[in-house]
Amino acid sequence: MAASSRRNPPPLPGAENQDPLSEMAGEDSDEGEDIFVGNSNPVAEAFQPDTANGEEPADLFSEAETSTAVNSSITTSKSNGVHSDNENDLFAEVSVELSMENPSTTAKSSGAEFTPSLTLSATQPESMEQLEEEKDEDSFDMEVAVTNPEKIGDGMNAYMAYKVSTRTTLPMFRNRTFSVWRRFSDFLGLYEKLSVKHSLNGCIIPPPPEKSVVGMTKVKVGKDDSSSADFVERRRAALERYLQRVVCHPSLLQDPDVREFLERDELPRAVGTHTLSGAGFLKMINRASDAVSKMTIKISDSDAWFDNKLQEVESEELQLRKLHAVVDSLVNHRKELCGNTAVFAKSMAMLGNSEDNTALSRALSQLAEVEDKMETLHQEQAASDFFILAELLADYIRLLGAVRGCFEQRMKTWQRWQEAQSTLQKKREVEAKLLWANKPDKLQQAKEEITEWEGKVTQYERDFDRISVTVRKEFLRFEKQKSKDFKSQIVKYLESLLQSQQRHVKFWEAFLPEAKAIA
């Protein structure tokens, strides 16, 4: 009974220092800087990979803890240090970014960060660790790329095969660089397998790009136009991003299925990914039942963190959807603008031809050429709008869905625990009744059941605690990743705008003297 009264989140390992950690728990990474500055005492010395958090490699947990409470027990985390400390790097970014308003502090912290001195200064041991982490990251890097879409076969049985190339220095792979051919259903199959294994742990599993019957049919039928080329390119890019997210995830990367996907030459055809198969229907049914149960579960969680985060996620998803719709509209309008500009350019050229003042005629033809160039610019802009912005938004809308799924898993685990508790309660009542009614043989059975259920309750409670920790960790990791992703994409988008404006300037500067020369 005591267990049910505990509603506080399980103390994170290394909770000797409650303060910085609870700060961490409640807030966003913005508080990173405070932790860095304030927490110079090596928490990790006292830290033991807590057996309560029995995730697979304890190392990964130590990594997690380094991110939440910067410490110096990094040595344990280096074994599979793939992206060992994205979190740390992002923290560094964050701390610098916070000083956006104070350029002086920016210089200071970035300077401190990159001091390659080997003496750990007492005030900033964390930054040295970050540096070591970065070094580790460099030596254990992993790159995947999806390229060369090729159409295999013909007619309705045709499919696109994509080349998946990996370049890595991780020891668990046989070679350093290798590539295999995969088709879309293989990617979906990978997702299914990972889903089955890891979603129960509360991992956020990156969702693959969506199926598109229309798009694929066009490709199969062999329509060799720009729209099917666009579709293939879009899918290829989406698959690449999907894979990159998968290998970015420290625990997913450990999964043998992922390794197999990347390495094995021939993959057994993934069944159950076809929409109209039996497995497909089963999935739909499961999803429906999930939706129903979702509506009825409400954890009376005194840890408001999860509640708040879920709300944030939901509102963010809403906004992103809105944004995505508008970006879509923008892409369409730009394409329209493109067409209209081309038509206008031709019309201007005609006008220039019929104009009998030679200088004006030449200027008008020049104008027509400028407008033609504008058209190319618009087209490129539309492409970048789409590939940079719209796809980013679509990806994150799907990812936020996965995050919500994660939270739901936690709720389900909680529900299971609660149900077990109520079953235990009932069994105890039965036992009490039996005691009173004095039936020793049934009593024995009842006692056995009680022990069984007590064990279950303890286990489920531990499961819940574990999944809560995982979800929290995953969510924070997700937020960092999202921050990084958005930032890099936004920078890319702005740079594309920049380039387009530069060319704008060039074109009009070339035109101006022509216009002035009209007499």
Partner 1 sequence: MGSIAAQLFSGLSRDIKSGSSLGSVNVDLQTDATLQVDISDALSERDKVKFTVHTKSTLPNFKQNEFSVVRQHEEFIWLHDSFVENEEYAGYIIPPAPPRPDFDASREKLQKLGEGEGSMTKEEFTKMKQELEAEYLAIFKKTVAMHEVFLCRVAAHPVLRKDMNFHVFLEYNQDLSVRGKNKREKMEDFFKNVVKSADGVLVAGVKDVDDFFEHEKTFLLEYHNRVKDASSKSDRMIRSHKNAADDINRIASTLYTLGTQDSTDVCKYFLLVSLPLQKIEARVAADEDLKLADLLKYYLRESQAAKDLLYRRGRALVDYENANKALDKARAKNKDVLQAETSQQVCCQKFEKISESAKQELIDFKTRRVAAFRKNLVELAELELKHAKGNLQLLQSCVGVLKGDT
Choices 206-214, 238-246, 256-264, 313-321 (CB under 8 A): range interacting with partner 1: 313-321
Binding pattern for the stretch 94-133 against partner 1, x by CB under 8 A and - elsewhere = x-xx--x-----x---------------------------
Whose Cβ is closer to partner 1: residue 170's or residue 359's? 359
Q: Which residues pair with 177 in a beta bridge?
A: 167
Q: Which residues contact 450 (CB under 8 A, 6 or more apart)?
A: 424, 427, 428, 431
Least gap, CB of 96 to partner 1 (angstroms)? 6
Least gap, CB of 505 to partner 1 (angstroms)? 4
Of 19, 30, 143, 448, which lies in the binding site for partner 1, with binding defined by CB under 8 A?
A: 30
Least gap, CB of 319 to partner 1 (angstroms)? 5
Least gap, CB of 106 to partner 1 (angstroms)? 8
Whose Cβ is closer to partner 1: residue 121's or residue 340's? 340
Choices 181-189, 436-444, 448-456, 477-485 (CB under 8 A): range interacting with partner 1: 477-485
Residue 167's SS3 state is: strand
> Rounded distance, CA 149 to CA 241, Å?
15
Residue 83's SS3 state is: coil
Both tokens of residue 476?
Answer: 């924070």
Whose Cβ is closer to partner 1: residue 121's or residue 502's? 502
Choices 77-85, 187-195, 263-271, 311-319 (CB under 8 A): range interacting with partner 1: 311-319
Least gap, CB of 77 to partner 1 (angstroms)? 23
155 C-beta neighbours (distance < 10 Å), count? 8
Binding pattern for the stretch 318-347 against partner 1, x by CB under 8 A and - elsewhere = -x--xx--xx-xx--xx-xx--xx-xx--x
Angle of the 358-384 helix axis to the 304-354 helix axis, nearest 10:
160
Whose Cβ is closer to partner 1: residue 316's or residue 454's? 316
Q: How far from the centroid of its chain's Cα atoms is residue 225's Cα?
A: 32
Of 152, 200, 350, 432, which lies in the binding site for partner 1, with binding defined by CB under 8 A?
A: 350
Distances 228 to 155, 160, 186, 216, 234 between C-alpha atoms, Å: 15, 12, 21, 8, 10
Nearest to 341 by CA among 301, 289, 300, 377: 377
> Rounded distance, CA 85 to CA 73, Å?
13
Q: Between vectors from CA 208 to CA 299 and to CA 203, what angle results, nearest 5°?
A: 35
Q: Contact, 128 vs 120, CB < 8 A? A: yes
Nearest to 250 by CA among 203, 201, 195, 289: 203
Q: Which of residues 490-509 bind partner 1 (CB under 8 A)?
A: 490-491, 493-495, 497-498, 501-502, 504-505, 508-509
112 C-beta neighbours (distance < 10 Å), count? 19
DSSP code of residue 270: P
Least gap, CB of 499 to partner 1 (angstroms)? 9
Of 25, 383, 402, 515, which lies in the binding site for partner 1, with binding defined by CB under 8 A?
A: 515
Residues that bind partner 1 (CB under 8 A): 28-30, 93-94, 96-97, 100, 106, 312, 315-316, 319, 322-323, 326-327, 329-330, 333-334, 336-337, 340-341, 343-344, 347-348, 350-351, 353-357, 359-360, 363-364, 367, 479, 482-483, 486-487, 490-491, 493-495, 497-498, 501-502, 504-505, 508-509, 511-512, 515-516, 518-519
